[in-house]
């Protein structure tokens, strides 16, 4: 599936593997490596929804937005759950839910607010840009730069970025034009992804971040990677509602 887009070959591709039986971790990691996507999701039916796990080509991760969106999309599209039924996922990050909102899918994720930190001495050189602000959430660093243009043209040094102690780096700035409120990109070479095309989990940090700066709770966000993606973001207390669309581009059956 391509997530956070309404057309094929845009947004963020994710593999979704619906399992008929439990598989061990090494098998799932091998499948994710074979798919070679930023994340492959694995679904097992449980008593109250589905057990959901996410693997990059290198390792298992604690939270992934676009593969959760893709998982909900395929459950509804294939009639595994009813169109008006909430999708419920039991994950490393607790219970996550998804609901259909017309053509959009709304995810209910935990907020991951950041705290300001001292700028690492090497960061400006790695980014090729001077940060206005640097913060750290439970999972990632977030860097605000001066403009959308700076975000778009950035080409961080992957090997040096991978040496820094965090899952990934969120780079953001106010959007240059309406209807968007802010733009971002997400780099995660430490977990085997130089740049993730559209990152739902990063918006668990971006939502609270821009809530403080723009003084509102709802945003239209654009991730300005080469593929690009559109997200609706709503901060709701200690939760962040992240909405997007998804399309199926390929169906296959795994053979061992």
Beta pairing partners, 104: 101
Element (H, E) at 161: helix 158-162
In sequence order, the 6+-apart residues with CB closer than 8 A to the CB of 132 are 144, 145, 146
**Per-residue burial over 188-220, b = 16 or more CB atoms within 10 Å of its CB, e = otherwise:** bbbbebebbbbbbbbbbbbbbbbbeeeeebebe
Distances (CA, A) of 71 to 10, 50, 87, 198, 239: 17, 10, 9, 15, 20
By annotation, the residues acting in catalysis are 39
- Contact between 109 and 65 under an 8 Å Cβ cutoff? The reply is yes
CA torsion, ordered 42, 7, 178, 147, to nearest 10 deg: 60
Element (H, E) at 96: strand 94-101
Which residue is listed with tokens 């780096």?
A: 169
């Amino acid at each position: 599936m391509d997530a956070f887009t309404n057309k094929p070959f845009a947004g963020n591709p994710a593999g979704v593997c619906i399992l008929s039986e439990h598989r061990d971790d090494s098998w799932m990691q091998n499948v994710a490596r074979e798919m070679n996507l930023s994340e492959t999701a694995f679904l097992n039916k449980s008593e109250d929804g589905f057990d959901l796990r996410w693997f990059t080509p290198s390792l298992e991760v604690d939270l992934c937005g676009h593969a959760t969106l893709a998982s909900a999309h395929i459950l509804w599209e294939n009639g595994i759950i009813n169109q008006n039924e909430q999708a419920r996922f039991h994950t490393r990050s607790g219970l996550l839910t998804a609901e259909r909102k017309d053509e959009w899918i709304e995810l209910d994720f935990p907020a991951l607010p950041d705290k300001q930190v001292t700028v690492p001495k090497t960061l400006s050189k790695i980014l090729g840009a001077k940060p206005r602000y640097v913060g750290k959430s439970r999972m990632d660093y977030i860097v605000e730069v001066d403009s959308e243009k700076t975000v778009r043209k950035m080409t961080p040094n992957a090997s040096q970025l991978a040496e820094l102690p965090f899952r990934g780096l969120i780079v953001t700035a106010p959007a240059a034009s309406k209807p968007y409120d802010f733009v971002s990109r997400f780099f995660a070479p430490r977990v085997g992804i130089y740049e993730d095309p559209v990152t739902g989990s990063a918006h668990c940090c971006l939502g609270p971040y821009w809530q403080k700066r723009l003084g509102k709770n709802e945003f239209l966000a654009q991730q300005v990677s080469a593929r690009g993606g559109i997200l609706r973001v709503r901060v709701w207390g200690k939760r962040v509602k992240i909405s997007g669309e998804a399309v199926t581009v390929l169906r296959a059956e795994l053979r061992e």
